[in-house]
């Protein structure tokens, strides 16, 4: 309890010192509490830009908050660009934890000491981040492996810090009415889920395995194999990959790698993941990408770290392809129509208004050669515009937009002349062609075909069942009708009897009155 209180106290102290209360987002009113704190802590120096102060505060609060900042930096749809750009600088490199703790974790998770499991285990980690660290090792058969071990005690730490974040988000919502538009509580909720996902290394191994399968036939991308017998939610063991980090361009040139090809390969890999598989690696920072210089796989990309992946369904792919294609033809009316037809924007949205808004935000982007246009920027502008028209932008599309920016940055670093549009266009057009016209129909038949082998043999039985049911229903209907007719006749008889009885009574009464008057 005291620990929690001290932690809360530290968070509040850091927040006040860095003036986080006055990081009023443009377009929002400054919270009232901020005016009070300005007076109470008049000596605090808030001359440093707000984004830098926010970054420093998160760094001071430790690895969980640093991760939080990294997640916020992916929400360019919610936060202003200065904050997003500054938070992208957050690095979660932290001092490694004691290798004895890593050994203990391996022993507890895999049921044996690393000396028994491996022929060799390097005690000094090769890399260490807030959630896990990586040690190199060799299996008994000599296979070189990388062992990723979860940092001990992370779950408890995360639970405590995230609980405090929930309290803080709640508090902010109470004291600052405008904050609801920033969806702070939802962002914390999403972060909570994201961190708990990251805590399960089995998920990461499964993501890697899926990506490896998707690119099994590819000459462009290598993905380490997972050794499932040595995997648990706290420890995973995978093939050790050898390559040059993609950011070390001098070494790549020295090794004779064709940078132009590498650059367009990167774009091709990304669009294949998006449009063919609907499953993409979403943590494409340069530290996670190597380039192989082994003779048998020379110049191929190597992907590492599969903690964050994005998945897209056909609906998302449709959104992307329709919008990109219309955008690059500068057909803003089509962009607006597509939004309304497909239900992304509310039905009552006026096409001309949405069209004008999209034109206003995108024309400036097109004021340069097509090859210099950023897809990531286009998408970001589209999200920002469509939010004004109550379009709920899906998180997987925001993740994609962020990854796209990374891929573009990386591609242009390798080849400043990279024409992203030229590389991407065939993928978009192929997807569109597969969705519409005869080709689309044939493709959909093909996709359904495996099910036909189950359905066809059942057809006679199903037809017989349907006909029998119809016949039974027919008999049932006839019986019901006969019953109704009988009921009706019975009711009619009762009514006639009643009418006869009442009529006779009235007639009798009239006759009696007439007779009485006469006599
Ligand atoms: N299979 C592998 N083969 C060779 N090196 C590896 C392998 N897996 C990880 N590494 C090394 O360990 C580093 C960290 O790995 P990884 O990115 O998976 O860990 P992380 O804890 O998720 O780090 P971060 O979150 O900062 O990206 C990599 O940059 C790479 O140098």
**CA 72 to CA 54: how far, in whole Å?**
11
For the cut 70, the answer to whether the pLDDT of residue 26 exceeds it is no
Question: Quick one: which of 395, 401, 406 has its CA closest to 197?
Answer: 395
What does DSSP say about strands 279-281 and 221-222: parallel, antiparallel, or unpaired? unpaired
Provide the pLDDT for residue 474.
Answer: 76
Closest CA to 88 of 101, 97, 79: 79
305 pocket-lining for ligand 1 (C-beta < 6 Å): yes
- Helix ranges (H only) for 309-419 are 314-328, 332-341, 351-362, 375-388, 395-414
Q: How many CB atoms lie within 10 A of CB 190?
A: 14
Cα-to-centroid distance, 416 and ligand 1 (Å) = 28
Q: Any known ligand binding at 386? A: no
State yes or no: pLDDT of 140 exceeds 80: yes
Q: Is 224 in the pocket of ligand 1 (CB under 6 A)?
A: yes
Residue 304 is classified by DSSP as: -
Task: Over range 63-87, report the average pLDDT.
Answer: 81
Average pLDDT over residues 202-213: 97
Ligand 1 centre to CA of 28 (Å) is 40
| Span of 68-77, 229-238, 446-455 with lowest mean pLDDT | 446-455
Q: Where are the beta strands (DSSP E) in 213-327?
A: 221-222, 235-239, 244-245, 279-281, 289-291, 301-303, 309-311
Stretch among 55-64, 77-86, 327-336 having the lowest mean pLDDT: 77-86
Contacts by residues 203-206 (CB-CB < 8 Å, ≥ 24 positions apart): 203/307, 204/148, 204/236, 204/305, 204/306, 204/307, 205/231, 205/236, 205/238, 205/306
Tell me the catalytic residues: 283
Do residues 443 and 314 touch, judged by C-beta distance below 8 A?
A: no
Residue 146 Cβ < 6 Å to ligand 1:
yes
Contacts of 97 (CB under 8 A, 6+ apart): 128, 133, 151, 152
How many Å lie between the centroid of ligand 1 and the Cα of residue 114?
A: 19
- The reply to whether CATH 3.30.70.520 applies to domain 93-157+195-240 is no
Q: Rg (Cα) of the chain, in Å, rounded?
A: 34
- Stated as kind and residue range, the H or E segment containing 137 is strand 132-139
pLDDT score of 441: 57
The annotation status of 34 as a binding-site residue, yes or no, is no
Look up tokens 């992370």; give the residue.
Answer: 154
Beta strand pairing status for 221-222 and 301-303?
parallel
Q: Tens of pLDDT along 238-293?
A: 999 999 999 899 999 999 999 999 999 999 999 999 988 999 999 888 788 999 99
Q: Is 329 helix (H, G, I), strand (E, B) or coil?
A: coil
183 known member of a binding site: no
pLDDT at 87: 87
Tell me, using a 6 A CB cutoff, whether residue 126 lines ligand 1: yes
- Asked if 27 and 80 touch (Cβ cutoff 8 Å), the reply is no
User: Which helix (H) or strand (E) segment is 173 a member of?
Assistant: helix 154-175
**Cβ atoms of residues 317 and 278 within 8 Å:** yes
Q: Please return the burial class of 216, using the count of CB atoms within 10 Å of its CB with bins 0-12, 13-18 and 19+.
A: exposed
Q: Round to whole Å and give the CA distance between 247 and 40.
A: 47
Identify the residue with better confidence: 217 or 329: 217
- Residue 355 exposure: Cα atoms within 13 Å on the Cβ side: 11
The answer to whether 13 and 51 have CB atoms below 8 angstroms apart is no
- Tell me the C-alpha distance between 326 and 314, whole Å: 18
Q: List beta partners, residue 133.
A: 128, 149
How far is the C-alpha of 149 from the C-alpha of 103, rounded, in Å?
Answer: 9
Q: In the predicted model, is pLDDT for residue 437 greater than 60? A: no
- The pLDDT score that the predictor gives to residue 352 is 92
The pLDDT > 90 percentage for the chain reads 30
Q: pLDDT value at position 318? A: 83
Question: Quick check: 237 pLDDT over 80?
Answer: yes
User: Which of 151-155, 389-393, 397-401 is least confident?
Assistant: 389-393
Q: Closest Cα to residue 345, out of 304, 302, 393? A: 393
**CB atoms < 10 A from the CB of 163, how many?**
14
Q: Is the pLDDT of residue 348 over 50?
A: yes
Residue 305 CA to ligand 1 center (angstroms) comes to 6
Tell me the per-residue pLDDT of 97-118, one tens digit each, with 9 for 90 and over. 899 999 999 999 999 999 999 9
Phi, psi angle pair for 244, to nearest 5°: -100, 130
180 or 278: which leads in pLDDT: 278
**More confident: 228 or 152:** 228
- Calculate mean pLDDT across residues 470-476: 77
Name which residue leads in pLDDT, 415 or 25: 415
Q: What angle do CA 164, 166, 171 make, to 5 degrees?
A: 95
187 in a labelled binding site: no
Beta strands 289-291 and 244-245, pairing class = antiparallel
133 is in an annotated binding site: yes
264 vs 467, more confident: 264
C-alpha distance across the termini of the chain, in Å: 109
If you average pLDDT over each of 198-207, 282-291, 438-447, which comes out highest?
198-207
Nearest one of 278, 379, 343 to 76, comparing CA atoms? 379
Q: What is the mean pLDDT of residues 290-297?
A: 95
Q: Is 125 in the pocket of ligand 1 (CB under 6 A)?
A: no
- Structure token pair of residue 415: 């080849």
Cβ–ligand 1 distance for 122 under 6 Å, the answer no
Q: What is the pLDDT of residue 33?
A: 63
Query: What HEC string does 285-301 produce?
Result: CHHHEEECCCHHHCCCE
Contacts for 396 with CB less than 8 Å, ≥ 6 apart: 310, 311, 312, 316
Kindly tell me if the per-residue pLDDT of 427 is higher than 90: no
Q: Say whether pLDDT at 223 is over 80.
A: yes
Q: CA 84 from chain center: how many Å?
A: 18
Which residue lies with its CA nearest to atom 25 of ligand 1?
Answer: 129
- Contact, 387 vs 393, CB < 8 A? yes
> Quick one: what percent of the chain has pLDDT higher than 70?
88
Q: What's the gap in Å between 192 CA and the centre of ligand 1? A: 23
CB 332 within 8 A of CB 353: no
Q: What is the pLDDT of residue 88?
A: 82
Q: Which tokens belong to 383?
A: 């999200």
Q: Please list the residues that pair with 291 across neighbouring strands.
A: 244, 301
Average of per-residue pLDDT across 139-156: 93
Give the model's pLDDT for residue 157.
85
Residue whose pair of structure tokens reads 């229903």 in the numeric block: 473
């Amino acid at each position: 309890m005291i620990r929690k209180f001290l932690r809360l106290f530290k968070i509040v102290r850091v927040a006040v010192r860095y003036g986080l209360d006055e990081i009023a987002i443009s377009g929002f009113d400054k919270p009232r509490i901020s005016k009070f704190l300005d007076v109470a802590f008049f000596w605090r120096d808030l001359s440093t830009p707000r984004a830098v102060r926010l970054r420093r505060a998160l760094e001071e609060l430790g690895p969980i908050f640093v991760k939080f900042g990294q997640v916020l930096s992916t929400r360019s749809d919610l936060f202003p660009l200065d904050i997003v750009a500054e938070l992208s600088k957050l690095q979660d490199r932290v001092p490694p934890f004691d290798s004895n703790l890593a050994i203990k974790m391996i022993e507890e998770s895999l049921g044996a000491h690393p000396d028994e499991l491996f022929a060799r285990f390097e005690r000094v980690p090769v890399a260490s981040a807030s959630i896990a660290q990586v040690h190199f090792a060799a299996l008994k058969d000599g296979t070189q492996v990388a062992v990723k071990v979860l940092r001990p005690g992370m779950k408890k730490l995360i639970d405590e810090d995230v609980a405090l974040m929930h309290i803080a988000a709640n508090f902010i919502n109470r004291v600052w009415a405008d904050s609801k538009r920033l969806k702070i509580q939802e962002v914390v909720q999403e972060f909570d889920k994201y961190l708990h996902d990251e805590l399960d290394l089995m998920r990461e191994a499964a993501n890697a395995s899926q990506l490896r399968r998707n690119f099994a036939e590819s000459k462009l991308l290598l993905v380490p194999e997972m050794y499932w017998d040595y995997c648990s939610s706290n420890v995973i063991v995978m093939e050790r990959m050898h390559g040059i980090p993609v950011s070390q361009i001098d070494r790549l040139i020295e090794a004779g790698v064709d940078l132009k090809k590498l650059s367009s390969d990167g774009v091709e890999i990304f669009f294949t993941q998006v449009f063919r598989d609907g499953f993409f690696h979403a943590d494409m920072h340069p530290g996670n990408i190597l380039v192989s210089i082994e003779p048998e796989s020379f110049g191929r990309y190597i992907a590492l770290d599969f903690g964050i992946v994005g998945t897209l369904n056909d609906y998302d792919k449709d959104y992307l392809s329709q919008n990109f294609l219309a955008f690059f033809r500068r057909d803003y009316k089509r962009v607006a129509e597509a939004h309304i037809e497909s239900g992304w924007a509310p039905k009552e949205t006026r096409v001309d208004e949405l069209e004008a808004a999209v034109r206003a935000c995108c024309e400036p982007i097109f004021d340069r050669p097509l090859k210099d246009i950023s897809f990531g920027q286009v998408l970001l502008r589209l999200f920002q515009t469509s939010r004004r028209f109550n379009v709920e932008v899906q998180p997987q599309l925001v993740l994609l937009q962020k990854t796209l920016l990374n891929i573009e940055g990386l591609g242009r670093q390798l080849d400043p002349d990279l024409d992203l549009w030229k590389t991407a266009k065939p993928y978009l057009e192929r997807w569109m062609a597969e969705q519409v016209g005869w080709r689309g129909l044939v493709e959909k038949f093909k996709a359904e075909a495996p099910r036909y082998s189950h359905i066809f043999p059942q057809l006679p039985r199903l037809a017989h069942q349907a006909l029998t049911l119809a016949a039974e229903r027919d008999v049932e209907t006839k019986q019901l009708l006969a019953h109704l007719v009988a009921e009706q006749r019975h009711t009619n008889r009762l009514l006639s009897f009643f009418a006869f009885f009442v009529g006779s009574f009235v007639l009798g009464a009239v006759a009696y009155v007439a007779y009485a008057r006469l006599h």
